[in-house]
């Protein structure tokens, strides 16, 4: 969002809040500042009126405004990538659950290992597929950054293992 939009937004919000507070003070003053049930509900009703006006205005204004920005970025197509990400998350959860079940004594070590292995094998396939998808889409710069990051990570891990 642009700055101009933000500024206008704050002006509008402040204006609304001002109208609201003035109205409330008026209602209270009318009742000599005795806060009774009718006064409370009159104030709520007034608040609702302000909200009605504010939101009806927004409803109308948005509907007739030109679609200016981000129309295509706004609607995301369901891609193969999303499905892979989802599958990866599900697999990770499954691995964690299996480990927990093993530690809780519901699975024998052998069963757990077999189960986790199938999950991990599939997870590696998914990660590979995800990277493949990224490689085809990413810019050169991004690719380099990712490569460097991965190497640093692997490196530090090896060092950690040695130590």
Partner 1 sequence: MTQTGAVPFSPIALVGTIALLSAYALAAWCAAAGIAGNSLKSRRFVSSSVYGLYGFNALISLASALMIYAFVTHDFAIKYVAETSDVTMPTSYKVTAFWGGLDGSLLFWVLVLALFSTVAIAVNHKRHRDMIGYVVATIMIVQIFFLSLLIFTKNPFATFLTTPPVDGKGLNPLLQNYWMVIHPPSLYTGFVAATIPFAFAIGALASGRLDDLWLGSVRVWMLICFGFLALGLILGGRWAYEELGWGGYWAWDPVENAGFMPWFTATAFLHSAIIQEQRGTMKIWNLALVVTTFFLTIFGTFMTRSGAVKSVHAFGADNVLAMQFIAFLGLIAVVSIGLIVYRANKLSSKAKFDSFMSREFAFLINNWILLACAFFVLFATMWPTITEAFGSREELDAKFFNKWMPTLGILLLFLAGAAPLLAWRKTTRERLWNQFLIPLAATAVTVGLLLVVFPQTKHLSPIFADKVKVPLSLIVFGTVAFCFASIGQEFWRGTAVRMRQTNGDPVSSMLALLLMKRRKYGGYIVHLGVAVLFIGFAGKAYDRMLDRTIEKPGVAAADGSGASSFSFGDYTFSYEKLIHTSDDHKDAISAQVGIWQDGDRIATVYPAKWDFHKAEQQMTTEVAITVRPAEDVYVVLTGFDLDQKVANFRVYLNPLILWVWVGFIILAIGTLICLIPQSLVDMVTWKPKSPLGRAVDVGIVAGIVVAMVLGVASQAHAGPPPAGAEHVPAGMGMTGENDGWAAKNRPENDTQARAMNELSCPCGCPHQTIYDCPCKTAADLRRKVMDLMSGTDLSTPEARQKAYDAVLAQFVTEYGQEVLSTPKSKVSWLLPSLAVVGALGVLVGFGRRWIVHSHGPAAVAPTADSGAKPDDDDYADKLEDELSRTD
- Interaction site with partner 1 (CB under 8 A): 32-34, 37-38, 41-42, 44-45, 47-49, 51-52, 54-56, 58-60, 62-67, 70-71, 74-76, 78, 82-83, 86-90, 92-101, 103-108, 111, 113, 115-117, 120-121, 123-124, 127-128, 150, 153-154, 157
Least distance between partner 1 and beta carbon 76 (Å): 6
CB-nearer residue toward partner 1: 10 or 47: 47
Could you tell me if 66 and 108 are in contact, meaning their C-beta atoms sit under 8 angstroms apart? no
Residue whose token pair is 């706004």: 74
Residue 136 backbone dihedrals phi, psi, to 5 degrees: -70, -25
Least distance between partner 1 and beta carbon 139 (Å): 21
CA dihedral 117, 121, 123, 127 (to 10 degrees): 150
Signed CA dihedral, 36, 38, 43, 48: sign only:
positive
CB-nearer residue toward partner 1: 37 or 163: 37
């Amino acid at each position: 969002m642009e700055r101009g939009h933000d500024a206008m937004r704050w002006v509008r919000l402040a204006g609304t809040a001002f109208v609201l507070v003035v109205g409330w003070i008026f209602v209270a003053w009318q009742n000599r500042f005795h806060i009774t049930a009718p006064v409370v509900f009159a104030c709520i009703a007034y608040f609702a009126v302000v909200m009605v006006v504010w939101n009806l205005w927004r409803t109308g204004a948005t509907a007739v405004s030109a679609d200016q920005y981000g129309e295509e970025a706004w609607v995301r197509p369901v891609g193969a990538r999303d499905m892979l990400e989802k599958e990866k998350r599900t697999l990770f959860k499954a691995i964690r659950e299996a480990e927990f079940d093993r530690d809780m004594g519901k699975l024998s070590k052998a069963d757990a290992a077999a189960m986790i292995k199938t999950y991990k094998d599939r997870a590696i396939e998914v990660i590979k597929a995800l990277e493949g998808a990224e490689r085809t889409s990413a810019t050169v710069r991004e690719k380099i950054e990712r490569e460097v990051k991965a190497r640093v990570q692997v490196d530090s891990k090896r060092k950690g293992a040695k130590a």
